[in-house]
Amino acid sequence: MNKIKYKKKMINLYELEDITLLPSAINNGHLSADVDFLVSDELDVTGSNTDTLPIFTSPMPSIVGSESAKIYDSAGIRPIIPSTENIDLRLNYCAWVFCAFTVVEVRRNFLSTRRESNNQFHVCIDAGNGHDAGIMSLCNELKKMYGGQILLMGGNVANPSTYEYYSKAGFDYMRVGISGGSLVDKCKYGFHYPLASLLNDIKAEKSKSVNKNLRPVKIIADGGVDSYLHAVKCLALGADYVMIGRDFARVLEAEGEILMKSSQTELTPIDKSTLPPDMDQYKIKSNQFSRYYWGNTTPKVRAERAGFKSVEDWEKSVGSKVVLSDSGWESVSVELTLDEWIDEFKNCAYYSFMMTNSTTWKEFKENVKYAVQY
C-alpha cells in the first residue's frame, strides 16, 4: 500500500481563551473622564443612534424584540430585530435599526419592487450558510438597486479568504464565526475556525485589501463571546463590533419571558411590566429569576419563521418530520440590569485602555499587543 504524502503542515489555531493581552512597558494611568468608549459608524447616517458601544445584540427572539430594541438602542447597544418578528414591523424598524430578513423576504420586499424611503435600510440577511455564493449575488443585486441607501450585514463565515468575496459583493458588515456559540455543538459537523485566529487572520486579509483596491467591510465577532474580557479580546484582534447573545439573556431588560422560582422545582412566568422599578437587586442575583435562551436554528424558531405556532403544526403542514439543527436551548439566570452589564463592560475596557495607554478603541487597537498563552 502506498503511503500518502502530505505537503502542507497542520497549522495551529486559537480560541479567545488561548490569547492573552500584553501590557505596555509603562503607562501613565488616567481618569475615566479621559476615555471614550463609543465608536462612530460612518456608514450608518440615518440610524437612530450612530455613536454607540462597539456591541450588537444577537438577532435572537430570547434577546431582542420590538420593545427591548428601543431600550438597547437608547443605552448605546446596537440591536438587531430577529426574523421571527412580524414582517411589517421589521420593514418599518429597519429605517433606524438593523433587522434580520430571510433570503426569501429580502427578494420579495427589496428586489421584487423598489422600496422608497428617505432613510437607509438596515438589512441583516439571515441565512444559515454565510459562504453561499448565492448570498454574494443577492448582495450585488441589492447594491445595484439601492447603492449606499441599503446597509447590508451577512454571515456567518469561518474562512479568512471570505472577506474578499464579501468586499467585492458589496457587504457593509460581515458576521464572523461558526459553531462557536454556547448553544451549538461544534463537533456535530466538524467545521469550525477558532475565533481568535479567525479574527487575526481576517485582520491580515483586511490589511491586504488596500493593495487589491477592495472596499472595507466592518467585522462583527459572533459566537462564544461569553465574558467582558472576550469582547475586549475580539476588538483587540481586529473586530469592529462584537455580537452578544447568551450574556444578554442574563439581563433583566432582554426580550425573553422571565420565569420566577415559585418553589424548589416550579418556575412561574411573570409579566416584566409588573416588576417594581426599585426591584431589589439581591433578588435578581439570588437565582430567583431565569429565562430560556435558544438558538436561531432550533426547531421552535424555524417553525416561527415558516409561519407556524409550533413545530407540530409545521410538521403537519409539510407531512413529515423536520430535520433538527445543531443548536438547542438552556435556562439562564437573570442576574443583572442592562446598565450593570454596560458598567462592567466599561470597567473591563477602561483597564484595557489604561494598560495600553489608550483613550479610544482606535488607539487601543493600534497600541495593544497579544500573544498565545500555553
* DSSP class per residue in 342-372: HHHHHHHHHHHHHHTT-SSHHHHHHH-EEEE
319: left (phi over 0), alpha (psi -120 to 50) or beta: left
- Burial 213-252, CB ≥16 within 10 A → b, else e: ebeebbbbbbbbbbebbbbbbbbbbbbbbbbbbbbbbbbb
pLDDT band at 226 (very low <50, low <70, confident <90, very high): confident
Best-predicted range by mean pLDDT (29-43, 125-139, 313-327): 125-139
Residue type (1 letter), 239? A
CA dist 185 and 328 (Å) reads 9
Paired residues of 258 in beta bridges? 270
Range of lowest pLDDT (164-173, 179-188, 339-348): 179-188
Contact at 8 Å (CB) between 355 and 347?
no
Contact at 8 Å (CB) between 241 and 56?
yes
DSSP symbol at 29 = -
Contact at 8 Å (CB) between 142 and 107?
no
Q: How far is CA 327 from the centre of its chain?
A: 16
What number is the average pLDDT over the span 57-82? 94
CB within 8 A of 203, min separation 6: which ones? 219, 237, 238
pLDDT band at 325 (very low <50, low <70, confident <90, very high): low
What number is the average pLDDT over the span 309-324? 64
The reported pLDDT for the residue numbered 269 is: 82
CA dist 340 and 328 (Å) reads 27
Paired residues of 110 in beta bridges? none
CA dist 115 and 98 (Å) reads 16
First to last CA, the chain: 39
What number is the average pLDDT over the span 202-225? 86
Q: Is the pTM of this model over 0.85?
A: yes
Query: Which residue stretches of the chain are H helix?
Result: 68-74, 87-93, 103-106, 133-146, 162-169, 195-208, 228-236, 246-249, 281-284, 299-305, 311-318, 338-355, 361-367
pLDDT of 209 over the 90 cut: no
